[in-house]
Amino acid sequence: MDIHNTLLTSLRKLARQHTEETLGDRRNYLGASDIGYCPRKTILERIHPGEHDLATLLRFQRGHMTEDIVAMAFSAAGFNNYDRQVEIAVEGDVPLKAHIDFVFTSKPQKIKSVLEIKSTSKIPDGPYGSWESQLYIQMGALASKYPDYTIKGAVMALDLADGNVGFFNGYKPEETIFNGLLDRAGAIWSEYQHMLNGEEVYPDTETGPLCGFCNHITTCPRFEGEEVPQLENVVEALQEQQAKEKVVKGEIKLLKRNLLAVVEQKGPIKTGGCLLKKATRSRKYLDTDRLENFLTESGVAIEEYQKTNTFSFLEIRKAKAA
């Protein structure tokens, strides 16, 4: 059995079923989560939807699992004043819908609180702009439908691999931001309709670190030339973090060496609730010199038993001046 193909085919089927059951036909409206992303990608994904690869499908399932985990935790804690997957149509000329993960309602205090769940491989220092855009649309839609309620909002990000949680709270509806996002939605929808009618339209593009996961990058005008200045800030951020990593690794190595020198002289010690002692481990390794001599004596070259392993990585060099 081809397990990779089985997973790929089955998860694609599940993804389609989940979309149809919870979101309907997304070609007929814009979702709150669409507005904060690249307009060109949002439009082309509706006109020429690509098939998701296994990695993307697994991330989708991780997102569904994360929401279920949070719901189970709330239920175990005794909370029962929330609704899941609340759909609200935003009034206006653009078919815009907000699908809210959790809406908590306090009838006595007349408060409705939006909670958006995000599954991520690393908890950011602050919420991404696309997360906040989605939240502001959700809160604005909820405020329009329940004008007699106070609306609040928050984003909870979970890293299931490392078991970390980020909670970004204190949001409230902002009319100026909400109206600005509605204008953006209107522009996206208008260009989408023009493209459906076969008109030549060039939607706005927004570059960022997620461009590599876009199915339409090969035809994106931002990447037509060799120079992509819009990614300069991303590269600078990476280089800055790499420089910090190098310094931190050096500091860690120095601290370990100094503490090892102490326990080598003094023996095991306790400090700060920790036990420090010298540990020794042994591991076997292949003596390639002896092996090569043996093979040579047998009339065999060691290269006959070597294989080439190809791998990919990001290489950053100083570009030559034109």
State pLDDT tens for residues 265-321: 999 999 999 999 999 999 888 888 888 888 888 888 888 888 888 988 888 888 876
What's the distance, CA 316 to chain centroid? 23
Distance (Å, rounded) from C-alpha 74 to C-alpha 185? 33
Residue given tokens 């759909």 in the structure block: 87
Residue with tokens 């814009």: 30
Q: Do 247 and 159 belong together in one domain?
A: no
Phi and psi at 281, nearest 5°, equal -125, 150
67-82 pLDDT, tens digit per residue, is 999 999 999 999 999 9
d(CA 68, CA 18): 14
**16 pLDDT exceeds 90?**
no
Instruction: Judge contact between 220 and 175, C-beta under 8 A.
Output: no
Which residue range forms the structural domain that includes residue 265? 234-274
Contact 43, 191 (CB under 8 A): yes
115 plus 238 within the same structural domain: no
- CATH number of the domain that residue 122 is part of: 3.90.320.10
**What mean pLDDT do residues 114-138 have?**
94
Same domain, 175 and 199: yes
**What pLDDT is recorded for position 11?**
86
Residue 85 CB partners (closer than 8 Å, separation 6+): 22, 99, 100, 101
Q: Provide the pLDDT confidence category of residue 118 given band limits of 50, 70 and 90.
A: very high
Alpha carbon distance 182, 176 (integer Å): 10
pLDDT digits (tens, 9 = 90+) for 23-75: 778 889 999 999 988 999 999 999 988 788 888 888 888 999 999 999 999 99
Structure token digits, residue 20: 């149809």
- Grouping H, G, I as helix, E, B as strand and the rest as coil, residue 105 is strand
pLDDT at 1: 63
320 lies in some domain = no
- Arithmetic mean of pLDDT, 154-165: 94
Is residue 101 within 8 A of residue 116, CB to CB? The reply is yes
The pTM of the whole model exceeds 0.95: no
Q: Report the C-alpha gap between 33 and 192 in whole angstroms.
A: 16
Q: Give the chain's end-to-end CA distance (angstroms, integer).
A: 53
Which pLDDT value is given to residue 322? 60
Considering the domain architecture, whether residues 93 and 204 belong to the same structural domain is answered as yes
For residue 288, tell me if it sits in a domain: no
Please name the residue ranges forming H helices in the chain: 3-22, 39-47, 54-76, 129-145, 175-196, 232-266, 288-297
Note whether 198 and 244 are same-domain residues: no
**Is residue 78 domain-shared with residue 208, that is, in the same domain?**
yes
Let me know if residue 293 belongs to a domain: no
Q: Are residues 182 and 270 in the same domain?
A: no
Residue 85 lies in a domain: yes
pLDDT (tens digit per residue) in 3-12: 888 888 898 8
179-198 mean pLDDT:
94
In a domain, 307, yes or no: no
**Range with the poorest average pLDDT among 87-101, 123-137, 262-276, 294-308:** 294-308
Asked if 249 and 211 sit in the same domain, the reply is no
- Give residue 268's pLDDT: 93
pLDDT score recorded for residue 107:
94
Q: Are residues 81 and 128 in the same domain?
A: yes
